[in-house]
Every structure is written in structure tokens, then in C-alpha cells.
A and B are shown apart, each in its own frame.
Chain A
Amino acid sequence: MIAVLMFPGSNCENETKLACEAAGMKAEIVRWNDVSKLGSYSGYVLPGGWSYEDRIRAGVIASKDKVVAFLKEEAAAGKPILGICNGCQILVEAGLIPGSGKLEMAVARNENPLVSGYYCTWVHMKKTSSKKTAFSAVDEVMAIPIAHGEGRFVTKDKELLAALEENGQILFRYCDVGGEIAKAFPDNPNGSTDAIAGICNKEGNVLAMMPHPERASWMRQLPGEHAGGEEAGPGLKIFESMKRYIDEN
């Protein structure tokens, strides 16, 4: 059973649960203050939304909720933890990504010449690490939407990014439709350093990503001229990957 954690202000929990189920996992939405079954889950998803309305800074207040402290233990125990958008911001503020437990990065306000603040659009994302992680069994390039005002990965630690690259922790980067790593807007929708879209921990069981795979999990969701319906979309593979990891570990 997967716990889709609902923080006060989360808003993607319903479709995230549906994506987990479409991938063959059992999932339930767990309120932030419902601690009764916390240890019993085989994996966790922190869905998108606006925990605490992003007050002060996206993800910072939720990162101090008791349930997040508990997640640190679950991460150390090797359980898969997926943070999407606001979930990504929470994991970064809590230090669960890159994984030392300390605040090593920020997911800062977007840099965007077209729309100031919150920006919602479809982009492409490329898998840029061959590391075996709980979320890697995906297409090399996939169409996926983003929707956020604070999505730009930055750090003041000059050596960190090189270390992450070497460890294969930079799992996803923004790219163009042909798979070339994004050099600028609009392929890079928010000015993220090195076009980074998703980072995992060294062990590969925790992933924080800004794009929304649950919004690309059914073909009907993809924009443009096509006749896709209820069959699986590219984003579903992230959840299927998580299921395989649980089955194999």
C-alpha cells in the first residue's frame, strides 16, 4: 500500500492516487496528521499542490511537519519516496534531497521572460542518468507538464552539482522535443540550473521532481492533435517503475 500524503494545501492527491493505482499499486490518501498507519506503507508519494499556500516559501512549513521527520527514517530504510512539484519543494527544504538531511539546495522563484510568477505549460524531460533508481524505467524523452512559480533548482555550494552529476543523481533535465538538453526558455521553463528537473538521492530510492507525471499518465491528457484515450501515458512509467522497485526489494 502506498501512502499519498495530503498536507494542508495539497491539491493533486486524487489524480496522484489514481496514477498509483493505474500502475498496479494499492494507494490511499493519508492526511498529514493521521499517524495511525505510517510505518506500514511500502512507499510514499508527496503530491503537488500548495502546502500552507506556499506562505513564506514553497514547501518550507510542510517540511517541518512531524510526518516529514518520519519520512527521513523511511528513506533510510530504503522505501521509495516520490516528491512531485510541491512534494519536491518539501523534500528539498527537509534535506531529503539531495539526501544529507541538511538544507543543501533551494527550489527558487522562476526566471521567465513571458510570465512572471506561476507558470503552467507542457515541456519535455529527458532521463540524464543511468543510475538504477526506483523511478528510472521510463522513456528517455517524455512530454510532461509543469505548473509552478518556484521551480528553479539552485545551490550556493559550487561543488554540489558536480558531485550530484558524478553520483548520477541528476535524473531528469528539461530538453527540447528532439531530446537536446534545454539551453534557454522556453525549453527550460524556469531557468533551473543546468536545466535540472528532477534529483534523486545517492541510494536512488528518493526522487524530487518538479514536472507532474500524474498529469501525463493517460494519453487523453497529452495536448495536441491525437486520439488518445484512457490508455497509459508516458508519465505512468514513473509510477510503474516505483511498483517494480517495491516488488523487487
Chain B
Amino acid sequence: MSLGAADEVAISSMSDADISTFLKEHLLTLSVDECKKVVELLGRDPTLTEVHIFNIQWSEHCSYKSSKQWLKMLPTSGPTVMLGVGEDAGIVRFAQDGEDVYGIAMSHESHNHPSQVVPYEGAATGVGGNIRDVLCMGARVIACADPLRFGDPNGKEKNRVKYIANQVVDGIAGYGNPLGVPVLAGDVYFNSSFDDNCLVNVVTLGVIKEKDIIHSAAPPNSEGHDIIVVGKATDASGFGGAAFASVVLDDEQEEYNKGAVQVPDPFLKNILVRASESVFAAARKKKVTLGFKDMGAGGIMCATSELCESGGVGADIDLEKVHVAVEGLEPYVIACAETQERFAWICPPKFTSTILRIYNEEFELPRVAAGARASVVGKVTTGDYVLQYKGKPICKAPASVVTKGIEYTRVGGSYITTFREPTLKEPTDYGSMGLKILRHPNVASKASIYKHYDTEVQGLAVVRPGEADAGVQAPVPGKYWGVALSVDHNPRYSRISPFHGAVNGVAEAMRNVACVGATPIGMTDCLNMGNPETSEHFRDFIESVEGLSVASHKLWLKDYPEKPVPFVAGNVSFYNQSAAGNTIDPSPIIGCVGKIDDYRKVVRTQLVAAGSNLLMIGERKDELGGSVYYDVHNELGKHVPELDLEVQRREMHAVIDLIDAGLVKSCHDISDGGLFVTVAEMILGKDADGKIGVDVTLGASELAVSRLLFSETPGYVLEVDFSNMKEIEKILGEHQVASTVLGTTTNDAEFLIKEVLEVSVASMAEAWTSGVVEAMK
């Protein structure tokens, strides 16, 4: 049986060696077995276009073939979920006002490999792609967060690291700022495991009313609906030949390279967002149901086949109707290219002219970008998913076959690790050691980065980057509801123990949200890992997922005991390793969203008044594995924080209740750099201009002072009024949480720990404001 297409590939009659040659010639990453499986699935030999389609659909990136099975461990449903995983973005239930139920849409993606090669474009298009996912649900995009990982700025790759770091930050700013999406949170880590593979993750939030959600599926009864492709003219993006070039002087002939770089166009995106919102409004007014999906990997083919499969329908698409940037593109390129800034609509024919008019005339897409427009490319059918080119079908299969993907059962091999605790002498000058830690780029102020981002656009910011442990916005103008966001994960913890590193990531993200007084309601995760075909690295992936699962279950929803905080969005990025075998630290990066009923109750990090008490929650332990203190001594260590999740949950819920009761003046969590950094940052404040000091007395302890000051066992420091201690102790008692009085705040511009250290605010400010600036210079 055959399609009769001229470009049919006779796989069924080829030898394995011939198939292998064929795959190499066409730069396909399908394996020989996978190729034969295509024949089996279709019941015939595939066309060249179909081979390309499965090459993409069955890639790790699109199919999650190695990870799917293990990701089932993660909780993805529950009382706070409005729309779970499966569509372009997940949505958590946020607030209700009469009949209007509001949700916060969340998406989390990575764009690691392109950012290592062309860091500006890679980061920019990473932001662009993630924003499209949230927009496609019909949401207003309100915030972004950027967790970034770069190599060692003082190591052997330091020049490359600095180049990439600066360009990535420029790329994020160069895209998010013109588009008008404020950055609400983020974090940056520098370590040598990222020398050859930087990590650029993006988390995006949107706000939407439940009744306005637009699904990533063909609507019910959509036979005969039009399929419309909107946006940039399709080019050969993703079909570059050799990805990297050597330096060539004045060679304009490098067409083959053009496909490898995705070109960001935030100007076009800005127009597309506004035009699309205009379409949403028109559809709501006319009560028309539409399907909407963004195009990423796999382009038109992937988006339209998924829209159809989700709606249980097929399609008849004429690839010659797609607006292209250049003539002569192969049909499989038109179908599968990753050209940016494009979407697909499915709409009833009576509404098609409205969509075309809004994009092509009202918002003048063709004037905004050469060749950009909205074009009708096909119709929804009840049969197979069909792509036509020059009158002939070049893909014909049920939509479910196209989107089915494949799944592998991979197991991880256990391996022995030889981490050990170093033997270090106690510092003779704790103050000086503290300053060294404040200067470390993983601790130091990130102001030189986040001040490059527009944090104020849309006018929703309540707590912006630097002011507190999480960012907070008031997403519905006129309402006091606040949404909080934090992104976290410490890579060195996962180097020692992927399981504990992942647990700490979840705990820290939630803790940061609690520190502003918000209650965690949902999470995102992006598992940035090494080579899944290497059993040790796959073991790291599995242990990371186990850690995420255990933590999210134990640190359950505050308002729904025993129900885990759900993951509503996520991503997996494998193969973050270099040809030389340098693999990144396993990096399951977590985004946590929280809600506060009244944003006027938020607390920030900076000390508010002299004469307050400082309370610490979270017993200090000898847990310096992966700490900044050890890093400063060029050591890794072994004892990462191993959390008692029952205690963590009670501490976190106690802090939320204390803030809600108005009993906390400022609050900061204990993490990188330990207690010393926490208190130092509370003194300094976001702009390192704090005027209130601290007078602390460390109580008797079995632990050495270096442990008390620099151990990264999680905890909190709260600034409270002595007169409220009774009420505070009552709430702590209800949660069975212990606390220690550290000391008081003073009018002296210094950090004083009796008989241990005395450091001026000026010297702390100098160290803390220099660290990242020096690393990026």
C-alpha cells in the first residue's frame, strides 16, 4: 500500500545499513528501529515529509520518550488546579469575585542549547516561546521569571562564560521589555558544570477568567472549520545544516547556517499579542468557540496535528497556502520549520474574515514584518490528518498517529559517589569570611541584572525583584489579591545528591513565597539534565523526579491538608553535556506561585525599624554540603541539607500565619550563605543603603560558629515587635514550631554578633554590590 507520492521512501525494502545511510544523508536523528516502526504504524512506506515529521515528533524534546514514564510520579491535579497539564499552559485557581473565577496560567520552558551558541537570540526566543504558551490560553501575560545558570566566571572558560552571561541578560531584556512583560523573579548561579552548557529557563504567568479560557484543541463540532496560520512568514528555521560555523570573512553565501539561528522579533510579537487579544474579545462578544495554539518545535505540523488530535478530528492542509519568506522551500520544511512568532487558529468559517481583518488590516501585520500575515491554510475534517503539496498528499495518517509519540523505559544505573566533608580550620576572622561570601556571585546583589529588565510595565508590581524573596503583583486592577512568584534550585546540592537537591528546590521555592506572606498554590518544574542514554545521568533524572514528588506531597497545600501542591506546567531538557563529557549539575528548577488575599499585608526583606526583635525559625545543623562557605574554600562537601519535611511544612505555614496576623515587620529565608547572609541582606536592603543594624548573641551550641553562621539548613529570620511575642508564640505553638531570639535591631550601621564579628554596613554593601558586577565584567 502506498500514498503514490513521488517522494516516498522505500524503507520496507531497505537494509538496515541503507536506512542508516539514508538517515545520515538527511541529517535525521531517528534510529533505524524507529524508522521501521514508522512503516509499521502507517501500514505502508512513508513519504520523505512523513519521515521528517516522525523525526521531530519522536525527538526527546517533543515526545518526552525517556521521561514520560517517570514524570507520572509528579502530582498534577488537585483542588487548586483549574486546568492541568496537557495544553499549552496549566492554570491554577486564584480568586473569585461573584461569578468571575480567576486563574493564573503558568508555563515553564528551557532554551539551553541555542543560548550556548547564539546567547542573545537563544534567550530572546526562549522568552518569546514561553510567552506564546500562556497567551494561547486566552490569558493576559503579566509576568516572567528567568532562572539562569552560567559557567565559572573565573575559570578556564571565563571569557566565553562572561560573553554568554551578558548576551543572555541582554536577550531577555531585548525581548521582554519591548513586548511589555515585566520580570517578577529570577535567579542566577555560576559554576563550572555550566561552562559548556548554560541554562536559560523562563517561567511565564498570565491571568484569565475561567469562562474565557481558549483551549489548545479543535472545538466540538468543528468539521469544516478553517485552519489559519498567523504570524511571521515561514522560513527554514531549524533546518540549518552544520549548526556552528568557523569564522569566515565576508562570506554572504552561508544560507545553510541561516536555519540554525531563530531570529527573535519582539516588535512583531507585541503586535501579535494585541491583535490576538482583539480576536479574543471579538470571539467572546460573538460567543464563538475557537482553538488556538502556538507554534514551537515542529512548527505548523506539530501545532495543527495536536489541535486536531485534541479535538478528535483530522485536517486537510495545503502547504502552498502557507505564507513563506522565501520561495523554493521543501514541503517538509514548510510543514516543520520552527520559525518564531507564529500561531494556529481553528475557527468557524463565519468568523474567519474577522480574524483575517484584525491581523492583516487593523494591525497591519504585513507592514510590521516582511511577509507576516494571517492565512487560511486548510480545513478541519473528520478523516485523517492530511498535508497536501502541489495537489498531492505528502502526509496522510490519523492525527493520533502523528501525535502519539513513543515511549521508552529507561532505567538509571546506580553509581558510587565519593563525596566527603573537608576538614577546614575555623576562620580566624568571621567578619572577613562573611564578606567573602557576600561577594560570591551566587549570593551578591543581582541588581545590575534585574535593573536591565522592565519590572514596572503594566503597572501591577507590588514587590519587585530585590525587595523580597518572591515577587508580588496585583494581577486584577482594583482588587487586593496578590500573586507571588519565586524560582529556585541550588545546583551544587544536586551534584552531591540529586534527590535532596530536588527536595530542597521545592522547599526553597515554597519558602520564598511564604516569606512575603503568600500561600503556595501551584508549581512548575523544568528538569535540566545530562544525557538520558547514560545510565548514571538518567539515574540523576529519576532521583530528581523522586525528590520533587516527595517534597510536593509532604509540603502539602495549606488550605487542603494532605493534598500535594500540584505541578501544572513543566519541561524536560536532556543532553546538557559537552562533547568532552562535561555534564551540568542535575538542575530541576522549580517555579512556585502563591496567593495572598490582601497584598497590603506583604512583608519585604529589609529591616524596618531599630528596636525590633530578630527571631530565627529553623534549627541550625551541620549541613554545609554544596554551600557557598565550602565553595569559597574550593570544596564541595557531602552533608547537603536533608529536610524533615514535616517540620518544613509546619514552619512554612506558621510564617504565613504570622505575616497574615500582622505580626511580622520584615522576613527573609535562610539559604545560600546561611544565617550570616540572611541577616546581612536584611540590613542592606535592595539598594544596599540600609541604615538599621543588628546586635545578635549566639546562644550556646554544640555546633562550631562556622556552622551556626554559614550552614545552609533552611530557616527564616523575622523582624518582630517584642510587645507581640505572646501572640507570636501562640501561633508558633499551634504549628509546633520552635524559635530562637537572635537579638535586636539597632541604630548603628553595623552587623554585630557579640564576641564573633563586627562588620560595617559600608563594607557589606561594597562586597554585596560588587560580586555579580565583577563576575560579568
Report A's interface with B, CB cutoff 8 A: 6, 8-9, 11-12, 14-15, 18-19, 31, 33-34, 48-50, 52-55, 114-115, 117-121, 145, 147, 212, 214-215, 217-218, 220-221, 223-225, 227-230
Contact = CB atoms under 8 A, between A and B. Distances in A.
A212 B448 CA distance: 21
Contact of B457 (A6, A11, A218, A230): A11
Contacts of A9: 178, 267, 270-271
A30 B12 CA distance: 61
Interface string B472-508: 0010011010000000000000000000000000000
B480 A229 contact: yes
Interface residues of B, number: 46
Given A118-B454, A120-B456, A121-B451, A229 B267 contact: no
Interface of B: 170, 173, 177-180, 266-267, 270-271, 274, 362-364, 367-368, 447-448, 451-462, 464, 467, 474, 477-478, 480, 599-601, 604, 606, 608, 665-666, 686, 773
Contact of B459 (A114, A119, A214): A214
Contact of B173 (A6, A117, A217): A117
Contact of A147 (B267, B367, B456, B600): B456
Given A225-B606, A229-B480, A118 B267 contact: no
A120 B452 contact: yes
Given A8-B270, A12-B459, A225-B665, 10 more contacts: A11-B178, A15-B458, A120-B456, A147-B456, A215-B457, A217-B459, A223-B467, A227-B601, A229-B600, A230-B480
B456 A50 contact: no
A106 to B, nearest CB: 20
14 contacts: A9-B271, A12-B458, A15-B459, A49-B178, A50-B177, A53-B267, A53-B270, A120-B452, A121-B451, A214-B459, A215-B456, A221-B459, A227-B600, A229-B600
B608 A118 contact: no
Nearest to B606: A225
Contacts of B362: 31, 33-34
A121 B451 CA distance: 6
A48 to B, nearest CB: 8
A97 to B, nearest CB: 23
Contact of B478 (A55, A119, A230): A230
A11 B270 contact: yes
Given A117-B170, A120-B455, A147-B457, A11 B364 contact: no
Closest 5 CB pairs of A and B: A11-B180, A15-B459, A53-B267, A50-B178, A227-B600
Contacts of B458: 12, 14-15
A179 B170 CA distance: 33
Contact of A118 (B448, B452, B666): B452
A228 B364 contact: no
B170 A120 contact: no
Nearest to A145: B456
A158 to B, nearest CB: 33
Most buried by A among B480, B600, B601: B600
Given A53-B266, A221-B461, A147 B454 contact: yes
A110 B454 CA distance: 15
